[in-house]
């Protein structure tokens, strides 16, 4: 008897094969659909709200210096809790600034610079040109 794992879109199927007879069972896997706003549909107010927070600006600066989808959320040096960091990533996604994909247990990030620059020319360049303020000590 052996077990084969066959990847599917929304879960995987485990097949137990015994002497020519296959027993198949479906194993549900948690999947979440990430909401990504299209930058063309983002209002200026939403974009400015997302860019107002220094933690979110530091995330964008770090993403700008990396190849697409090379940084996982857990690799950012942020002075906030994991829950707060997750909130900041969600705000950036909702503002059309970040695209995220799940790869195994990691969530990888891509700065959507070309798309955002088409909607708000020069705005992201101003944010990225700002020097990074030092992190305040964590309480």
Percent residues over pLDDT 70 in the chain: 71
Q: Is a pLDDT exceeding 70 seen at residue 25?
A: no
Where residue 127 falls among pLDDT bands split at 50, 70, 90? very high
Where residue 132 falls among pLDDT bands split at 50, 70, 90? low
Measured distance CA(139)–CA(132) in Å, rounded: 20
Q: Which residue has the higher pLDDT, 13 or 105?
A: 105
**pLDDT given for residue 21 in this prediction:** 53
With CA atoms as reference, report the closest residue to 60 among 81, 106, 105, 91.
91
Mean pLDDT of 57-68: 95
Map tokens 């549900």 to a residue: 28
**116, exposed or middle or buried, with CB in 10 Å at 0-12, 13-18, 19+?**
buried
Measured in degrees and rounded to the nearest 5, phi and psi for residue 27 equal -105, 120
Q: Which residue has the higher pLDDT, 58 or 29?
A: 58
Quick check: 64 and 110 in contact, CB under 8 A? no
CATH T-level topology, domain 39-129? Arc Repressor Mutant, subunit A (1.10.10)
Order of strands across the sheet that contains 106-111: 71-72, 106-111, 98-103
Q: Is a pLDDT exceeding 60 seen at residue 73?
A: yes
Average per-residue pLDDT in the chain?
82
Beta strands in 21-117 (DSSP E): 21-28, 71-72, 98-103, 106-111
With CA atoms as reference, report the closest residue to 31 among 90, 101, 111.
101
**pLDDT given for residue 131 in this prediction:** 76
**pLDDT given for residue 91 in this prediction:** 97
Q: Which two tokens stand for residue 122?
A: 């020069």
Any idea where the domains of the chain sit in the sequence? 1-31, 39-129
Quick check: 18 and 1 in contact, CB under 8 A? yes
């Amino acid at each position: 008897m052996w077990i084969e794992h066959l990847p599917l879109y929304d879960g995987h199927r485990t097949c137990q094969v015994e002497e020519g007879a296959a027993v198949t069972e479906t194993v549900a896997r948690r999947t979440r659909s990430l909401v990504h706003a299209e930058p063309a549909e983002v209002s200026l107010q939403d974009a400015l709200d997302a860019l107002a927070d220094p933690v979110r600006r530091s995330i964008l600066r770090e993403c700008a210096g990396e190849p697409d989808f090379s940084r996982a959320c857990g690799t950012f040096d942020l002075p906030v809790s994991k829950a707060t960091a997750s909130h900041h990533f969600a705000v950036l996604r909702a503002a059309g600034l970040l695209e995220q994909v799940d790869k195994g247990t990691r969530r990888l990030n891509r700065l959507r610079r070309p798309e955002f620059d088409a909607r708000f020319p020069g705005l992201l360049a101003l944010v990225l040109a700002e020097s990074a303020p030092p992190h305040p000590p964590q309480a």
